[in-house]
Amino acid sequence: MTEPSTPPQHAERPAAHQATEMFEPEAWDERYSGEDDVWSGAPNPQLVTEASKLTPGSALDVGCGEGGDVIWLAQNSWTVTGADFSKNGLARAARHAEAAGVADKTDWWQVDARDLQAQERRYDLVTTHFLHPRDGAMADVVRRLCEAVAPGGHLLVVGHAPPAQAVIPADDPRRKAMLLAEQLLPALSDDFQVLVVEQRPRTVTRDGKTIAIDDSTLLARRL
């Protein structure tokens, strides 16, 4: 994800009630209510790598947070809907898009990805980075996102691969929410062609330390 401007919350193990709340919109609204931005505003690297190869059109970014990816897409000729279940996150994202001069290429959708119904919505690119719903719910989210991809369009799903157990224990709910790209393959409908399914290593700096992480990356094209 775009790197935090404050220390990441997974420096300490949460209490049980926090572990439940951290997957819900109230916790994210609180996180996005502080004075400072949570994320850097820089676009996520896998988005830049993959979307740069595509012809711009319409895009949906689910779990858009403060809008770093939405703004990058809009600056690169896409028209973009940023979706998130946090009203505070969306408000911030809209302010950032305005400041970046791309408000006219963006709109916003407050929705819980776990309940998302595409209905008539279709996009040339549906992208989501680091959404991480609890208890393995990402596969169901991917099923829902498939519906929102237009024929010939692309679905890009990026998440954190589980790190070494010493960093986050096996029973930690945040670890259970992490995933490998191949675990999402069964969620793709039959009319998708898989283009990328891999863990992509990169380094990030947190609390002044450089650490290695893997971006679980799934890219598929709807036929």
Could you list the residues that contact ligand SAM (CB under 6 A)? 1-2, 28, 39, 44, 63-65, 68, 84-86, 89, 112-114, 129-131, 133
Nearest distance, CB of residue 105 and ligand SAM, angstroms: 18
Q: Which is nearer to ligand SAM, 7 or 151 (CB)?
A: 7
Nearest distance, CB of residue 91 and ligand SAM, angstroms: 12
Q: Which is nearer to ligand SAM, 8 or 152 (CB)?
A: 8
Scanning the structure block, which residue is given the tokens 């400072």? 36
Q: Which is nearer to ligand SAM, 62 or 149 (CB)?
A: 62
Per DSSP, 154 falls in state E
Alpha-carbon torsion (213, 200, 43, 156), positive or negative: negative
Nearest distance, CB of residue 57 and ligand SAM, angstroms: 20
* Nearest residue to 22 (alpha-carbon basis) of 39, 9, 38: 9
Cα distance between residue 115 and residue 117, in whole Å: 6
Nearest distance, CB of residue 6 and ligand SAM, angstroms: 13
Q: Are strands 79-84 and 106-110 parallel, antiparallel or unpaired?
A: parallel
Q: Which is nearer to ligand SAM, 89 or 153 (CB)?
A: 89
- Say which amino acid occupies 209: K
Q: Which is nearer to ligand SAM, 65 or 162 (CB)?
A: 65
Residue 107: φ, ψ to 5°: -145, 175
What ranges in 24-156 are assigned the alpha helix state H?
A: 25-31, 45-51, 68-75, 87-99, 138-147
Q: By three-state DSSP, how is residue 126 classified?
A: strand
